[in-house]
Amino acid sequence: MARSQAMLGQLSDIDLRLLRVFRAVAEAGGFSAAELELNVGRSTISRHIKDLEVRLGITLCRRGRGGFALTEEGRQIYQATLRLLGSLETFRGEISDVHKRMTGHVSIALFDKMTTNPESRIHEALAEFDRLAPEVTLDIHIEPINEVERGLMEGRFQLGVIPAHRSSSSLAYEHLFYEQMYLYCGAKHRFYALDDEEISDELILDSKYAGLGYHSPNMEVGNQLGLQRDVTVNDQEAIVHCLLSGRYIGYLPDHYARELEQKGLIRSLVPQRYHYECDFVAIHRLSPKPSRIVATFMECLCKAHSPEKK
């Protein structure tokens, strides 16, 4: 404990470098996997992690024949490292604001399966942002809704794009676009050959259902209809696997499902009744005030999705 307190009282550039190495190792899942990310050899990575463990006075990970795994203390230090490095990026952004020059790094988190939505023009926002701030580097993560929100609150992400499902007084929200959701089954499901008129609400409720396991429009609609999850997933790709098994029904975005429908692999079920709309929003923390870099990226998103662009 004394060593940990000593490090925290004298945090240096070397300590930050060691923490960045530890973050890369934790996210890669081991020393070997982190070699490409860090562009250094495994022996050097091992030495850095050992140096960090000595500095902290704790064991961060187990490595050996049984494989790589973070210790409980290592998982806690990993989360603290993400918060610390996120705060440093915020600080760098604020310094850039002072110099009226946009340099630094921004971490962005996006919900999955948006690229096939014709209403989504995030690619246009990326192009405009690169034109305005060519010296800024980006990290783009694909995450579930709850992870995007948590990452923003912890400072790991500076901006996110998710389906609106609840509001927090700590976050700012800007509407971007809509997405249409329909209920589907796979070609091997007993509903596939039935007409919509033959598929009653009772049959739907009696069917096995695959749904998202975190608070989202998907969860809200499922609860409202009384659908009980038989399979809990954390992204829409997993729902497709369940549909193709022929054993489950589940909601998908119409743009994502279209190609699978055209191939005869899935079909929508009673679309006039079983559908809902998602409002996609860009979100960021209200405090601390977003840096000029984050504000500029937000402006690019709003401009790309403005009514005039449609």
> Global pTM?
0.70
Quote the pLDDT of residue 204. Answer: 97
Tell me the two tokens of residue 221.
Answer: 């609609």
Residue 289's φ and ψ, nearest 5 degrees, are -55, 135
**Tens-digit pLDDT profile for residues 35-79:** 877 888 888 999 999 999 998 888 999 887 778 899 999 999 999
Equal fold, 85-171+281-309 vs 178-278: yes
Q: Identify any residues that bridge with 276 across adjacent strands, giving them in sequence order.
A: 181
**Tens-digit pLDDT profile for residues 90-114:** 777 777 666 666 788 899 999 999 9
Distance of alpha carbon 109 from alpha carbon 218, whole angstroms:
19
Percent share of the chain, pLDDT over 90: 66
CA distances from 89 to 138, 165, 293 (A): 11, 28, 11
With a cut of 60, say whether residue 9 has pLDDT above it: no
**Tens-digit pLDDT profile for residues 211-267:** 999 899 999 999 999 999 999 999 999 999 999 999 999 999 999 999 999 999 999
Q: Which of these ranges, 54-63, 129-138, 295-304, has the smallest mean pLDDT? A: 54-63
Give me the CATH code for the 2-82 domain, please: 1.10.10.10
**Tens-digit pLDDT profile for residues 142-151:** 999 999 999 9
Nearest CA to 225 out of 236, 213, 211 is that of 211
> Hey, where are the domains in the chain?
2-82, 85-171+281-309, 178-278
* pLDDT-based confidence at residue 299 (cuts at 50, 70, 90): very high
**Tens-digit pLDDT profile for residues 184-215:** 999 999 999 999 999 999 999 999 999 999 89
DSSP E strand stretches across 12-163 = 61-62, 69-70, 104-110, 136-142, 159-163
- Across the range 136-157, mean pLDDT stands at 93
Specify the higher pLDDT residue, 13 or 18: 18
**Which helix (H) or strand (E) covers residue 237, if one does?**
helix 236-244
Regarding the domain delimited by 178-278, which CATH topology (the fold level of the hierarchy) does it fall under? D-Maltodextrin-Binding Protein; domain 2 (3.40.190)
Quote the pLDDT of residue 166. Answer: 87
With a cut of 60, say whether residue 3 has pLDDT above it: no
Nearest CA to 197 out of 274, 276, 270 is that of 270
* pLDDT-based confidence at residue 271 (cuts at 50, 70, 90): very high
**Beta strands 229-233 and 171-186: pairing type?**
unpaired
With a cut of 90, say whether residue 296 has pLDDT above it: yes
Nearest CA to 214 out of 271, 117, 145 is that of 145
Distance of alpha carbon 198 from alpha carbon 191, whole angstroms:
9
Residue range 85-171+281-309 in CATH 3.40.190.10: yes
Say which DSSP state 145 is in: H
Answer for the pair 278, 179: CB distance below 8 angstroms, yes or no: yes
